[in-house]
Amino acid sequence: MNKPETLSVVIEREVPHPPEKIWRALTQPHLIEAWLMKNDFKPAMDHQFSFRADWGSVACKVLAIEPNKTLSYTWAAYGLESVVTWTLTPTGTGTHLRMEQSGFRPDQQQAYQGASFGWQNFLANLEQVLAQAE
């Protein structure tokens, strides 16, 4: 049987900060909370954690971790089973940041549209945190 085609939300940005600084914002719970949500994240393989917000929570598990380069975790909430992958690539002026959330089924248009919109806001918040954090 063929798996149904799934959709991905991909957002790419050039960020004027080194990968190490962005990595901290992606992996330190107090910084994640500042731009994304409350959490109990630990940068360790197979660590199960959750993101929590007023509307509910997201169950997650770390799938891949390569410091200052790649972070990948499952993102499960309200019937959505997806994977979020962060890729950091150093550039001459900072870092090329790529966020991909993959696994949206064709019948999950609302979740897909919500993620497309939501991640734009989260990444704007991330850039503000990076500008303030030392």
Q: What pLDDT band is residue 27 in, cutting at 50, 70 and 90?
A: very high
Amino acid at residue number 55: W
The dihedral built from the CA positions of residue 118, 120, 121 and 122, taken in this order, carries a sign that is: positive
The confidence score (pLDDT) of residue 43 equals 95
The pLDDT of residue 133 is: 64
Name the CA radius of gyration of the chain, rounded.
15
Q: Are 104 and 111 in contact (CB under 8 A)?
A: yes
pLDDT number for residue 88: 98
pLDDT digits (tens, 9 = 90+) for 57-78: 999 999 999 999 999 999 999 8
pTM, two decimal places:
0.94
Whole-angstrom CA distances from 105 to 7, 59, 100 are 6, 18, 15
pLDDT tier at 129 (50, 70, 90 boundaries)? very high
pLDDT of residue 4: 64
Whether the CB-CB separation of 52 and 38 falls below 8 Å is answered with: yes
Q: Are 109 and 120 in contact (CB under 8 A)?
A: no
Mean pLDDT of the chain: 95
**Token representation of residue 78:** 């309200």
User: Given this model, what pLDDT does residue 71 score?
Assistant: 98
Homologous superfamily (CATH) for 16-89: START domain (3.30.530.20)
State how far the Cα of 39 lies from the Cα of 113, in Å rounded to an integer.
Answer: 23
Mean pLDDT of the region 8-30: 97
Name the pairing type of β-strands 94-104 and 38-39.
unpaired
